[in-house]
């Protein structure tokens, strides 16, 4: 990990959602930095020494988790392109509320809420966009809507000795990522991955190591970061088609050749999404649908961000470039990484 210096102040830090790729990486960075890390999630996480298993919907478990902690990094969430609103409310809104209350009661001083840029953006293309304020009314999809409510509530708790900041990593990827990388590779292998509108739309992403380092860094920068929502990316916008091609090559999958107009995919996404939801409610399918309106928007419109404030607030810069990240991905999957830049 990049920020591997040992800090003089050893803190007791709770990381929720550590069984996920990003949560696990954040916990690992903090451990390397010399902090005592406790993890809290439903399933066991790797490398844990102090672990409490439980759900955010279980108040007693949450209270046990925050007991004697100095800081909380909150990553646990229901992350899905689809799903019923109530499930998102329970985990993402009420769960965050429970964790915030318990943290304050337990004397936690620093609370980092991990959120998503989608809480403040509404389907149009974004070019060099600022973070913007979360807006549950206009956020697209149940996930973004519920995270928007949670972020507003979390930031509203920032006062006095209880410092709250919200980190919004945009499209985290890396080895072991099931959300984007594995899906792209699998669909490309089965020939089910179209490129929307030639894949020219610029997308900001963040390599897993950078995202974990930035979130860990935010704990050291709470004096500047408190009360703020901060979008974190690699600050290397790339055409979405090129990224997908890079991931496919790294994963040993063929590069998608099928081009579909974005408007068609968005429309189809809506239809598939509704059908999938209906099927899911009768337990007919378990997986995520192959295309949703949200995903189609993500893949066919520009999403890249102004990182000047972020890098100032966190006094941080990404250390793994996208090309290096793709090479690491290739090493993981045994595919081909980008050739070394001259």
Partner 1 sequence: MNEIFPGVKEEYSRYVDVPSTSPIDSPGTRHRWHILDNLTELNERGIVPRGTLLCIHGNPTWSFLWRSLLTHVADHGLPWRVVAVDQLDMGYSARTATFRRLADRVIDLGDLTTALEISGPVTTVGHDWGGIISLGWALAHQEQLANLVLTNTAVHPAGFDLPAALRLASNPAVHGWGTKTTDAFLRVTHSLARPALKPEIRQAFMAPYTAADRRTGVANFVADIPFAPDHPSRPALDGISEGIRSLDAPALLLWGPKDPVFSDRYLRDLLSRLPQAEVHRFEGAGHLVQEDRDIATPVFEWLTAGNSTSRKAKNAARATGGEYRPMLAQLDARTEDPSVAVVDIHPPRSLSWAELGRQVNALATGLQQIGVTAGTRVNLLVPPGIELTSLIYACLRLGAVIVVADAGLGTKGMGRAIRGAGPDYLIGIDRALAGAKLFGWPGIRIAVTDLSMAKRKMLGVRYTVNELLDLGVNAKAGSDGFTSVDPDTDAAVLFTSGSTGPAKGVVYTHRQLAAMRDTLHQTYGLQAGSALVAGFAPFALLGPALGATSVTPNMDVTAPRTLTASALAEAAEAVKATAIFASPAALANVLATQSELSPGQRDSLEAVSLMLSAGAPIPEPLLAKVQALVPNARVHTPYGMTEALPVTDITLDGIQRAGSGNGVCVGTAVCGAQVAIAPLDPQGCPANEPCTSVHATGEILVRAPHVKDRYDRLWFTEEQSTSVPGWHRTGDVGHFDDAGCLWVEGRLGHVLHTAKGPVTPVAAEHAAESVAGAGRAALVGVGPKGTQAAVIVMESVPAVKKAGPASAAVSQAVRSAVSAIGVDVAAVLLVPALPTDIRHNSKIDRTALAAWATKAVSGGRIGNP
Applying CB under 8 A, does 269 fall inside the site for partner 1? no
Exactly one of 128, 191, 254, 267 binds partner 1 (CB under 8 A); that residue is: 128
Q: How far is the CB of 31 from partner 1 (least distance, A)?
A: 32
Exactly one of 55, 80, 125, 179 binds partner 1 (CB under 8 A); that residue is: 125
Applying CB under 8 A, does 320 fall inside the site for partner 1? no
Applying CB under 8 A, does 300 fall inside the site for partner 1? yes
Q: How far is the CB of 297 from partner 1 (least distance, A)?
A: 9
Q: Are 117 and 148 in contact (CB under 8 A)?
A: no
Enter the tokens of residue 230. Answer: 């901060």
- For residue 36, how many C-alpha atoms fall within 13 Å in the half-sphere facing its CB? 9
Q: DSSP label at 198? A: G
Residue 207 known to be catalytic = no
Sign of the Cα pseudo-torsion (225, 110, 236, 189, in order):
negative
Piece of 28-36, 74-82, 237-245, 285-293 that binds partner 1 (CB under 8 A): 237-245
Alpha-carbon gap, residue 184 to 248, rounded angstroms: 7
Q: How far is the CB of 175 from partner 1 (least distance, A)?
A: 20
Piece of 33-41, 170-178, 194-202, 206-214 that binds partner 1 (CB under 8 A): 194-202
Piece of 40-48, 81-89, 148-156, 296-304 that binds partner 1 (CB under 8 A): 296-304
* Partners of 236 in beta bridges: none
The residue among 142, 112, 125, 96 whose CA lies nearest residue 27 is 112
Q: Which is nearer to partner 1, 146 or 307 (CB)?
A: 307
**290 phi and psi angles, rounded to 5 deg:** -70, -25
DSSP for 30-66, please give it. Answer: HHHTT-EEEEEESS--TT-SEEEE--TT-HHHHHHHH
Applying CB under 8 A, does 245 fall inside the site for partner 1? yes
Range 53-112, binding partner 1 (CB under 8 A): none
Alpha-carbon gap, residue 320 to 316, rounded angstroms: 12
Piece of 22-30, 41-49, 64-72, 240-248 that binds partner 1 (CB under 8 A): 240-248
Q: Are 220 and 34 in contact (CB under 8 A)?
A: no
Exactly one of 99, 202, 213, 272 binds partner 1 (CB under 8 A); that residue is: 202
Applying CB under 8 A, does 200 fall inside the site for partner 1? yes
Q: How far is the CB of 81 from partner 1 (least distance, A)?
A: 18
| Angle subtended at Cα 233 by Cα 127 and Cα 141, rounded to the nearest 5 degrees | 70
Q: How far is the CB of 339 from partner 1 (least distance, A)?
A: 7
The residue among 128, 268, 89, 143 whose CA lies nearest residue 196 is 268
Applying CB under 8 A, does 302 fall inside the site for partner 1? yes
Exactly one of 40, 304, 316, 333 binds partner 1 (CB under 8 A); that residue is: 304
Applying CB under 8 A, does 11 fall inside the site for partner 1? no
| Angle subtended at Cα 92 by Cα 140 and Cα 115, rounded to the nearest 5 degrees | 65
Which residues form the catalytic set?
143
Residues at the contact surface with partner 1, assessed by CB under 8 A: 125, 127-128, 196-202, 235-239, 241-242, 245-246, 249, 255, 261-262, 300-302, 304, 306-308, 338-339, 341-342
């Amino acid at each position: 990990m990049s920020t591997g210096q040992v800090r003089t102040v050893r803190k007791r830090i709770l990381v929720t959602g550590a069984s996920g790729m990003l949560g696990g990486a954040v916990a690992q960075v903090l451990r390397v930095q010399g902090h005592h890390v406790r993890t809290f999630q439903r399933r066991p996480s790797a490398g844990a020494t102090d672990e409490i298993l439980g759900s955010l919907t279980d108040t007693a478990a949450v209270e046990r988790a925050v007991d004697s902690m100095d800081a909380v990094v909150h990553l646990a969430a229901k992350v899905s392109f689809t799903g019923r609103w109530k499930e998102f409310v329970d985990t993402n809104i009420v769960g965050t509320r429970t964790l915030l209350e318990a943290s304050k009661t337990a004397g936690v001083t620093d609370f980092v809420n991990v959120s998503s840029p989608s809480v403040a953006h509404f389907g149009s293309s974004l070019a060099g966009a600022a973070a913007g304020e979360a807006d549950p009314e206009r956020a697209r999809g149940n996930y973004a809507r519920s995270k928007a409510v949670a972020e507003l509530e979390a930031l509203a708790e920032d006062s006095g000795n209880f410092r709250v900041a919200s980190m919004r990593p945009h499209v985290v990827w890396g080895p072991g990522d099931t959300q984007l990388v594995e899906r792209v590779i699998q669909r490309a292998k089965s020939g089910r991955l179209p490129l929307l509108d030639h894949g020219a739309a610029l997308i900001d992403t963040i390599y897993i190591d950078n995202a974990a380092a930035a979130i860990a860094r935010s704990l050291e920068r709470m004096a500047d970061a408190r009360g703020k929502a901060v979008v974190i990316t690699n600050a290397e916008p790339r055409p979405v088609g090129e990224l997908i091609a890079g991931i496919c090559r790294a994963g040993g999958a063929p590069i998608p050749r099928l081009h579909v107009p974005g408007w068609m995919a968005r429309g189809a996404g809506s239809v598939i999404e509704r059908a999938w939801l209906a099927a899911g409610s009768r337990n007919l399918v378990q997986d995520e649908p192959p295309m949703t309106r949200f995903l189609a928007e993500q893949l066919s419109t520009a999403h890249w961000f102004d990182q000047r404030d972020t890098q100032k607030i966190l006094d941080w810069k990404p250390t793994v470039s996208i090309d290096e990240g793709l090479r690491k991905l290739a090493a993981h999957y045994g595919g081909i990484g980008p050739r070394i830049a001259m």
